Amino acid sequence: MHELYQYLSDVQLLKGNYSAGLSYYKKSIAYRDSVHNEDNKQKIAQLEKTREEDIKQKEIELLKSQNEIQRLTSQRRMAVTYGLGCAFIGLSFLTFTFFNQNKKKEKINRELQQAYSDLKLAQTELVKQEKLASLGKLTSNIAHEIQNPLNFVNNFSEVTIDLAEELVTSQSEEEKMEILNSIKEMLGKINSHGKRADGIVKKMQQHLRDGKGHELFDN
């Protein structure tokens, strides 16, 4: 559908029906943007869902580690309390048990530290993915904004070339004057849209220097 509207726009412009040509061109841009925006929404939604699932999984793993530490700590306290009322054999057994508990605690601490490191790594990766998604959206918007005036420049340039060819072959002075006026009008439009594209680029460069690139297309 986008290509059809674009083709109809080009045909109307070549025929000199500038109003109809611009109307078809706007329809092609609107249709392309609707499809493009829907794809971006789906990608961002999927990214958010994946991020939430990863964070929930890491939180569950961290909670399990904490519960295991609490359980082992409770067992150790019970062993110490029981060992105080025992004789030498009980004390030896308590020493052996305490040694094993320390080994388990060290293992749990290592696992907890690894889980924490994995969580930090996952958070860093999610932030990176969010920045990439934001950059992709910004780049797409910039390309779209610049493409609009460039399309006008290209279309009006093609019409101007055709008018110039007609001027060369025309035998009527009156017709030549009409063609010259049309060429002047086309050049004015080319100049206007060229300045528009230049303004967009300068605005983009200024926002990027100020660190406010995301504000370009928020509205």
Average pLDDT over residues 130-150: 75
The pLDDT of residue 199 is above 80: yes
The pLDDT of residue 127 is above 60: yes
Task: Give the pLDDT score at 72.
Answer: 81
CB 5 within 8 A of CB 27: yes
The pLDDT of residue 218 is above 60: no
How far is Cα 68 from Cα 27, in angstroms, rounded to an integer?
A: 62
How far is Cα 84 from Cα 217, in angstroms, rounded to an integer?
A: 72
Mean pLDDT of the chain: 78
Q: How far is CA 137 from CA 1, 158, 181, 214, in A?
A: 23, 31, 42, 9
Average pLDDT over residues 70-95: 72
Average pLDDT over residues 208-216: 62
- Where exactly are the structural domains of the chain? 2-215
Torsion angle in degrees (nearest 10) through CA of 131, 136, 140, 141: -10
Task: Give the pLDDT score at 58.
Answer: 67
Class of domain 2-215: mainly alpha
Q: Which of 56, 2, 15 is nearest to 155 (CA)?
A: 15
The pLDDT of residue 212 is above 70: no
Average pLDDT over residues 166-189: 90
Other Cβ atoms less than 10 A from the Cβ of 185: the count is 15
Q: Residue 215: in which H helix or E strand, if any?
A: none
